[in-house]
Each structure stands twice: as structure tokens, then as C-alpha cells.
A and B are shown apart, each in its own frame.
Chain A
Amino acid sequence: DVHLVESGGGLVQPGGSQRLSCAGSGFRFESYWMSWVRQAPGAGLEWVASIKDDGSEKDYADSVKGRFTISRDNGQNSLYLQMDSLRGDDTAVYFCAREAPYGDYLYYFDYWGQGALVTVSS
């Protein structure tokens, strides 16, 4: 079974930094594009960032470009999201999601983790 488990959420002050991790298991992690999608409290879903299977290509939403960095370690079956210069509107549950198995980018998300809550507040 495919499993995605996020960690690293918590309370952070405005302007601060936080790093999220996502551990994947039950599939060939190194063969899939991976993404982060977030959901503000009581709100809808917003795609944040995606990374190619080998880490050579990345894509970001305009709302986080220049502040967030997506990365991965295929040896550890792990996905990361480094979040800097955090703002109140970054408060959300951050989901790790697997890209559909077409070996390419820009598809739907077929598996999601349970999410990690990041709260940006003083």
C-alpha cells in the first residue's frame, strides 16, 4: 500500500521558517513527481509546489515563489518543503501528494498524506 506521512508542522512566528518532511513508502518513490498542496482552515485546496522524480525540475505557485523551496532525497524516500519568510496567510494544513503514474508532470494527484498543520502567528 502507498503511504505518505508528513511531519514538521507547528507554530511559527511571522517572518520565521519551517521545514516540512514527507516520508513515502509502498511505491518506487524515485519514479514519481511529488507535490505539496495546502488547505487553509475552512478553505479549499491550493497547489503549492512540485518536483520531478530526479529533482531536476521544480514548479511553484506564485504565492510561494521565492519563499518556499521543494526538494527530495530519493535515497531516504523523502520529500521536503522549506518555508521561509512565513506570513499569516501561509497558515494551512500542508499535504504531500503523489503525481499520477504517467512518468511526467502535470496530472492529478492519486495519493495524499494526512497533512501537517503549520500555524503562522505571533
Chain B
Amino acid sequence: DIVMSQSPDSLPVSLGERATINCKSSHTVLHSSFNKNYIAWYQQKPGQPPKLLIYWASTRESGVPDRFSGSGSGTDFTLTINSLQAEDVAVYYCQQYYTTPRTFGQGTKVEVK
């Protein structure tokens, strides 16, 4: 199985500042034939299901604010939240869909400093 490791586990950020979450996979998730990275990012607020933010490592889902962006390739990926808003407080998960079983990172809790 591909192991997804996120850092940090907890991230205190002041409102209006940038939050950067890292995700590392134990195996490349870059499909060379399609030149696509099989990585998605989700946001989960307390008591709610996960919400899709980013797919193909950097494509923003419709309706997601442009302060959210994804980057990276191969085994190292980043989710950036520019100018953190109060409503962005949540746990963020990366997920690989390169192979089965699809696996998730352990989550990063973003909170207001």
C-alpha cells in the first residue's frame, strides 16, 4: 500500500496569514503516460463529511475559493491556504488514487493562532 504522510499534524496560523501543509507519498503517484499526479486534497470541518478541494494535485474543485492551491509532483505535495480565514479552520487530508487501496494522509489540523 502507498503510505501518505502529512506534516505538520497541527498548524496554528494567524488570520490573514499563509498556511502550508505538506504531503509525502511512499511511492510516486505521477502517472507518466498521462503526466498527471493522482493526488486529491479534502477539507473536513467538525461534524461534517470531507469536502473535495483539489484534484490532480493542483486543479481546484468548482466553487473552492482561489486562496486554496495545490502543488507538487512525484512524491511531494503541498496544499497552500493564502490569507487564512476563520472558516478555513478544519482538518485537511491528502489522498492518493494512483493505485488501490486508495489511501489518505493522517490529517493536518489548521487552527487560528
Partner-B contacts on A (CB < 8 A): 44-47, 59, 61-62, 95, 100, 106-115
- Binary interface profile of B, 81-113, with partner A (CB < 8 Å = 1, else 0)? 000000000000101010111111111000000
Please name the residue on chain A nearest to B106 by beta carbon: A44
Q: Bin the interface of chain B by size.
A: 20 to 34
Once bound together, how far apart are the Cα atoms of A115 and B99, in whole Å?
25
Residues of A within 8 A of B19 (CB): none
Once bound together, how far apart are the Cα atoms of A115 and B50, in whole Å?
10
With a 10 A CB-CB cut-off, give which of A45, A46, A113, A114 has the most chain B CB atoms: A45
Once bound together, how far apart are the Cα atoms of A111 and B62, in whole Å?
12
CB pair A45 B104 closer than 8 Å: yes
Partner-A contacts on B (CB < 8 A): 40, 42, 48-52, 55, 61, 93, 95, 97, 99-107
Residues of A within 8 A of B52 (CB): 108-111
CB pair B100 A106 closer than 8 Å: yes
Residues of A within 8 A of B97 (CB): 106-108
Once bound together, how far apart are the Cα atoms of A108 and B106, in whole Å?
17
CB pair A59 B100 closer than 8 Å: yes
Decide: A44 near B50, CB < 8 A? Known: A106-B99, A108-B40.
Answer: no
CB pair A47 B101 closer than 8 Å: yes
Distance in Å from the Cβ of B1 to the closest Cβ of chain A? Answer: 8
Once bound together, how far apart are the Cα atoms of A113 and B50, in whole Å?
9
CB pair A44 B49 closer than 8 Å: no
Distance in Å from the Cβ of A64 to the closest Cβ of chain B? Answer: 11
